[in-house]
């Protein structure tokens, strides 16, 4: 429940607004879903559920055949999280996107950075399989 006596950033009474978009959380979630084809089997191997060779075979199969589906899923998760975040702030419009454009670009940069870093990590771990 919100406090009716709270003020928002403009100083008027009403619903308090948050300081900014959760850039890191949204970017990490989108990047992780985008590379889940490789991260999933890697985590299973590191935990000990499957062998490294099996994880390598699964990751190779998933990456070769379904990589674009995972990447599109990551973009869909990213778009959904951005939409929900903007909707909660009553900024789900062209003006709202313009207002948050630098943070939205930061979300995209974090997602791409997460994807690249996890791709590099899983590729490096694949050399030991």
Write out pLDDT tens, residues 16-36: 455 566 888 999 999 999 999
Domain total for the chain? 1
Residue 37 belongs to a domain: yes
Q: Please give the pLDDT value at position 113.
A: 95
Q: Please give the pLDDT value at position 7.
A: 46
**pLDDT confidence tier of residue 129, bands split at 50, 70 and 90:** low
Residue 3 belongs to a domain: no
Residue 5 belongs to a domain: no
> What is the DSSP code string of 69-85?
HHHHHHHHHHHHHHHHH
Residue 2 belongs to a domain: no
Residue 59 belongs to a domain: yes
Residue 14 belongs to a domain: no
Question: Helix (H, G, I), strand (E, B), or coil: what is residue 63?
Answer: helix
Q: Which domain holds residue 30?
A: 23-126
Question: Helix (H, G, I), strand (E, B), or coil: what is residue 7?
Answer: strand
């Amino acid at each position: 429940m919100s406090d009716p006596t709270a003020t928002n950033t403009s100083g008027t009474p009403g619903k308090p607004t948050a300081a900014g978009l959760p850039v890191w959380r949204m970017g990490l979630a989108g990047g992780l879903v985008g590379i889940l084809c490789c991260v999933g089997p890697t985590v299973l191997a590191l935990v000990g559920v499957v062998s490294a060779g099996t994880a390598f075979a699964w990751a190779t199969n998933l990456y070769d055949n379904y990589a674009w589906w995972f990447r599109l899923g990551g973009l869909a998760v990213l778009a959904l999280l951005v939409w929900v975040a903007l909707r909660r702030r009553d900024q789900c419009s062209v003006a709202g996107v313009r207002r948050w454009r630098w943070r939205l670009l930061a979300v995209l940069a974090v997602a791409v950075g997460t994807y690249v870093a996890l791709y590099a990590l899983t590729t490096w771990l694949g050399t030991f399989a």
